Amino acid sequence: MEDDLKTREPTVQPEVHREQSLARVQAVPWLIVILLIAATAWLGWKAFFEQEEGDPVGSAMLAFQKQNSLTVFSSRFEVVAESVDTRGIAGFDLLKSRQAAIIPATVEYRLDLASMDRDRFAWDEASDTLQVTLPPLRISRPNLDEAKARVFTEGTYVTRDASADLSRNNSKIAEERASAFAKNPEVLGLARVAAKEAVRQNLAIPLQVAGFDDAKVEVMFEGQAAPN
């Protein structure tokens, strides 16, 4: 019996070692994966959260860096244009026509966020207030909706060339008048109010993420006095 046990021992022991070695080999890849996940999470935290923590200005700039421009206001209105066309032969005016057009126009007001550097932000730690100074609003070129224009033409006989010239002249006049209307102080004032509110809303969440739940945001434009 003892002889039989002695002869069996060498055959069992190597199998146990092989199983243990195999288990260790299989565990190594999983350990590497876990370490890589932990390292990635740590680097991500360092890159995106640690640098922002305690820096409201950095958090605000990061919110704006994701956008090159921000449309804050859109104004739609109607402009009236009128032009006259006279055609003649040998210096005599024989045909005279007039056209008036009421054309809908749309103008957008945008903020250039690419110019929002650190100098445009100021943090008052005593009052937990972030002051933001905005650049002047950019006004887009008027978009004339000529398909919905109402056109009134008068004249004994309006040639095709005269009609084309009248329409072309009215479009030019309408664009000029729309651009002038877009710079009207009252309309521009509405656009600025909308811009300030849009900036406050865009900065609310980044400041909360940075740990400033009670932070206030004061927004002004260049050359404008700070609010009291």
Question: Cα(65)–Cα(49) distance, rounded to whole angstroms?
Answer: 16
DSSP secondary structure string for all residues of 151-201: EEEEES---HHHHHHHHHHHHHHHHHHHHHHHT-HHHHHHHHHHHHHHHHH
Using an 8 Å Cβ cutoff, are 181 and 104 in contact? no
Q: What is the pLDDT along the chain (228 residues), one digit of tens a residue?
A: 455 544 445 444 555 455 555 445 455 454 554 555 555 554 554 454 444 446 778 777 777 776 778 899 999 999 999 999 888 766 666 788 999 999 999 999 999 888 888 888 888 888 888 899 999 999 999 999 999 999 999 887 888 888 899 999 999 999 999 999 999 999 999 999 999 999 998 888 888 877 888 888 999 998 776 654
> pLDDT digit string (tens) for 19-55?
555 445 455 454 554 555 555 554 554 454 444 446 7
Nearest residue to 169 via CA among 98, 83, 86: 83
* Nearest-5° Cα angle at 149, 147 to 150: 135
Q: Is the pTM higher than 0.75?
A: no
Question: Cα(174)–Cα(150) distance, rounded to whole angstroms?
Answer: 13
